[in-house]
Structure 1
Amino acid sequence: MATPLSADALVAALKKEGVTVVEHAGWRTHNRNAKGPWGPVNGVMIHHTVTSGTTATVALCYNGRSDLPGPLCHGVIAKDGTVHLVGNGRANHAGAGDPDVLAATIAEKHTLPAPNQQSTDGNTRFYGFECENLGNGKDPWPEAQLTAITKASAAICRAHGWSAASVIGHKEWTNTKIDPVGFTMASLRTRIGTRLASGASPGSPSSGSSGQGTAHQPFPGADWFKKGPKSAIVTAMGRRLTAEGCSAYRSGPGPQWTDADRASYAKWQRKLGYTGTDADGWPGAASWKALRVPASS
């Protein structure tokens, strides 16, 4: 769970990830915020447009239809890989979906439940990208477009400290939709996860990010922390938690795992959107990966 990125932060994150961005007039204040809340946000949703032609597609997603006012997404991803920004704030893209899917996305589960409810407002919770494609299973997905979808999704995940499990398809949100068609969401999440793990971008737009080229400490395992370790890994973790604004330390951090480390890590888990027993302060693989702890020398 996170506060939505500002327009400036979104542009910065996309460009930092190597995305080619076109900002359309008025996009920064173009939204449906008067009709409902925007945020807290929990993920990124991918759609196909059932249209052909970038100019017409962008216009449709900006203006909307008579029965569904625009913006219909935050960004349109064209065949050539350009991301056209058309909205900032609440957008009419996700509609109602399954609360169990939302809970699984927040927890960054690798497997989502089958959607069978339409009781949760997805327009509040998800960034949306509409991807130019006819959605008939025959219209190709150029590599430039798939790369742009990967980069745009990774940019937002990196900015919020999310993993690739925070990216879902519209068809995974509700059983009333089939998009996207032509590639699997599992394959897309694999691409996004590979990109996030590779450190292809210097990190999130925040000053607390670890730098480009930094080797990250592999997850030591949940049981390792419960044994009360004394290690440079604990110190490095504590410094990253402090940099992310999640410190519960009165002194340190130091190499000995303490209750202050656990309290700090619980703050980090809550920052990522975890709740209840999923935010108990014991590190898990997904939240550890998002923290990007530098490898100790």
Structure 2
Amino acid sequence: MPAPLTADQFVAALEAEGITVVETGDWREHNRNRKGAWGPVNGVIIHHTVTSGTASSVELCYDGYEELPGPLCHGVIAKDGTVHLVGNGRANHAGTGDGNVLDAVVNETRPPRPTADDTDGNAHFYGFECINLGDGDDPWPDVQLEAIERVSAALCRAHGWGAASVIGHREWTDTKIDPVGFAMDDLRDAIAERLGGLTGTNALDPGQELDVPAAGTAYEPFPGAGFFRAGADSPVVTTMGHRLVEEGCSAYAQGPGPHWTEADRQSYAAWQRKLGFTGSDADGRPGRTSWDALKVPRTS
């Protein structure tokens, strides 16, 4: 289910993706939850700050201002790629936007042009403010763009989302123009490449540990949901199938073998249901949480 990550899970997800994280003040308890819902979360919105300078930008996003109290996002992405965490929970970043865009994010399809402001985005999106003047002249250093990509991929990976779950503020509402200076389609392409084509299944539940396989582990690291598609041919699929059989989740008439088949998908769906997943979270497409629980032995 799309429940928000805990603070510990949030930090673990970012650090596992290679992000340098700075925890600001009491960010773990800093939120606007008393003013409205927080969750279900469905995606990530990218903003620019219209400011310069790291310290002042972080302070602004942490505290907010009289008309709009902080936190104004969950993290501030500095020019050097460092991510300063300023909020955990509902944050004043997205505002109202188009419910049709939210539907597209949930379904991981291309968002339509926003025309309405009828949906509370602060309940459904993580938000990251990226330090930039937003004038079209202020440069975006490569290290900052890579950090935006990594942050987005980290949350997609933790929730089992694909790159289509990441949008710009201007794609949420036609009252905003941010971010200016790079194309969101290019960012999503980079996120998708980093995720290996991940498409959403098996989000973390509250209190659940985020396991990041260590180097040298006896188990096969999660290869990304995009790995499991028609035409996939790998000994990893065979080994996965044997583990599913061992767990009593076999839909195989023969095999398993190295080619990803409908029998593999049905068997994996049985495993997801055994773990307690339902609906679209039990569609037979492996996600990180269910994969780590299966403990597929390394094939090499």
Q: Do structure 1's residue 254 and structure 2's residue 253 form an aligned pair?
A: no
User: How big is the alpha-carbon RMSD for the aligned residues of Structure 1 and Structure 2?
Assistant: 3.6
SS at match of 1:56: helix
The residue number in structure 1 matching 2:44 is 44
In the comparison of the two structures, how many residue pairs are matched? 268
Question: 1:117-196 alignment to 2 at 5 Å?
Answer: 117-196=116-195
Q: Does 1:236 align with 2:235?
A: no
Q: In structure 2, what is the Cα distance between the partners aligned to 1:35 and 1:237?
A: 47
TM-aligned CA deviation for residue 165 of structure 1: 1.2
In structure 2, the residue corresponding to 1:87 is in which secondary structure? coil
CA separation of 1:106/1:52 partners in 2, compared to 1, >3 Å: closer, same or farther? same
- Say if 2:45 and 2:166, in contact at 8 Å, map to a contact too: yes
Aligned-pair CA distance for 1:94: 0.3
Fraction of identical pairs, as percent: 53
Residues 46-97 of structure 1: per-residue CA shift (max 9 Å, x gap)? 0001111111111110111111000000000011111001111100000001
Compute the TM-score of the two structures, normalised by the length of structure 1.
0.77
Q: Mark the CA change 1:211 to 1:113 in structure 2 (over 3 Å): closer, same or farther.
A: farther
Q: How does 1:200-215 map to 2 (within 5 A)?
A: 206=209, 214=221
**Equivalent AA in structure 2 for residue 156 of structure 1:** L
Going from structure 1 to structure 2, the CA distance change for 1:292 and 1:183 (only over 3 Å counts) comes to farther
Dislocated runs of 4+, deviation >3 Å: 204-222, 231-235, 237-240, 257-268, 279-283, 287-297
Per-residue deviation, 1:218? 3.4
The separation in 1 between residues aligned to 2:3 and 2:282, in whole angstroms, is 21
TM-score (norm 2): 0.77
**Alignment-mate amino acid for residue 254 of structure 1:** S
Cα deviation, 1:235-271, whole Å, max 9, x if unaligned, reads 826968xxxxxxxx99612251397755656899x77
Q: Comparing 52-61 with 204-213, which one deviates more in the overlay?
A: 204-213
Q: CA deviation at 1:150?
A: 0.9
Aligned-pair CA distance for 1:114? 1.0
Cα distance change, pair 264–118 in 1 and its aligned pair in 2 (3 A) = farther
Give unpaired runs (5+ residues) of structure 2. Answer: 199-203, 253-262
In structure 2, C-alpha distance between the alignment counterparts of 1:11 and 1:264, rounded to whole Å: 28
Task: Output aligned runs, 1:1-297, within 5 Å.
Answer: 1-109=1-109, 111-197=110-196, 206=209, 214=221, 216=223, 218-221=227-230, 233=237, 236=240, 252-254=248-250, 256=252, 257=263, 262=269, 279=280, 287=285
